[in-house]
Chain A
């Protein structure tokens, strides 16, 4: 579904991603873990071109995402993204937050979008907040709505960039629950996270990144039980 070929990314003289090759297959739940500064978020942000790769290719269903001739907006409509800091549109109420993109991109009429929004909000238990503004919501509520907003575009893959890192501990569960549900429905997901429990339970594959490389990967049970690389062992001993 997503192919990454020789992907490198530098900020100034600082090389953050070093010649990464990777495949993400339909239905997979790829969980990316690693220390901060390892390039996890940059890798994820290269997938929908929020960061422009310095060299290499990102290919989404046969389209080279980072080709200047590609209609990047059309690609992004099929890739939902959830951010660490939610990034709900502060000037719009929740219903408008969710319906803006589907309506503007002519995916749906306003009525269809409203209906979709209410259905999705109902699923995450926030139907009654449709007319509220982001500033009136808790972090957990904001993040659940951010997920719903991305889902309203009916994406083929969902990218999560540390979705629970900015949340109060008591709100992490409600967001992870929504993500688990999404995973159970068969959504293809790429998740950068520090939640090892989620990686183990929901992930179909865990990637460990350090220093701009994918150092090790495996299915979660094997990954956590028998890590091979010394750096992975060291990292896991600190976080588990």
Chain B
């Protein structure tokens, strides 16, 4: 009977945390913030990560060293600290728009990881592929573009997916600069209902749904890219 009672009261808590007084709108707003930051950041890191990767792969020191140092520094500092630095130091007098601050902070952070994901994907392509391309008279760029990148893309898709998913979850710290994302919705609901279980459960389910949808989407893409491996 205890279990039944627990379910009944949990149902009541969920109702108060979600449906009562249209509180679901808070979650929707929070979800919107979380998704906006994630999408903005992933666009930056997908592009800037590639630039960093190519710089790091370059034999020219003037390109290689800055990229290596950047990746090193970014990976050595906690995300929250980087976010606070971006908000309170670097962009302090530049913009008040917290969304821009968050997208930049997460985008620049994720770029360092993306660069390494791309690099391992490119390095995993057999050296013979490059040699074959070059021996036919293709230049470095043509060989990269037509032969190495398509194969590297396939190599790094699984790790790219996990970085994407990590990014979704990492944005949960934007509460530190007083943004109300999905996680922060918890505080506003809890202060009204004096119950933690309801909103936390709902928020957890929502995060899980986003990441699961992403995982399914990319798994589908992976299968399609494998067409050239079929025997």
Contact = CB atoms under 8 A, between A and B. Distances in A.
Q: Output the residue of A78, A87, A92, A150 with the most chain B CB within 10 A.
A: A87
A50 B131 contact: yes
Nearest to B152: A91
B132 A83 contact: yes
B225 to A, nearest CB: 9
A177 B231 CA distance: 26
B139 interface: yes
Contact of A87 (B131, B138, B151, B154): B131
Contacts of A136: 230-231
A101 B150 contact: no
B73 interface: no
14 contacts: A73-B134, A75-B137, A76-B134, A76-B136, A76-B137, A77-B136, A81-B135, A91-B228, A92-B147, A100-B147, A101-B137, A104-B146, A135-B228, A135-B229
B129 interface: yes
Contacts of A30: none
Given A48-B135, A87-B129, 15 more contacts: A75-B137, A77-B137, A83-B132, A87-B128, A87-B131, A87-B132, A89-B146, A91-B228, A92-B146, A100-B138, A133-B228, A133-B230, A136-B230, A150-B135, A153-B137
A74 interface: yes
Contacts, number: 81
Contacts of B146: 89, 92, 100, 104
B135 A50 contact: yes
Residue with the highest number of chain B CB atoms closer than 10 Å, among A74, A91, A100, A133 = A91
B140 to A, nearest CB: 9
A149 B151 CA distance: 19
A195 B138 CA distance: 31
Nearest to A105: B137
B230 A89 contact: no
Query: Size band of the A side of the interface?
Result: 20 to 34
A236 B150 CA distance: 45
Contact of A91 (B135, B139, B151): B151
A119 interface: no
A149 B139 CA distance: 17
Nearest to A76: B137
Nearest to B127: A87
Contacts of B230: 133, 135-136
A76 B133 CA distance: 10
Contact of A135 (B135, B137, B147, B231): B231
B132 A76 contact: no
A88 interface: yes
A50 B136 contact: no
A150 B151 contact: no
A214 to B, nearest CB: 23
B136 A90 contact: no
A194 interface: no
Nearest to B126: A87
A48 B230 CA distance: 33
A79 B135 CA distance: 8
A76 B135 CA distance: 6
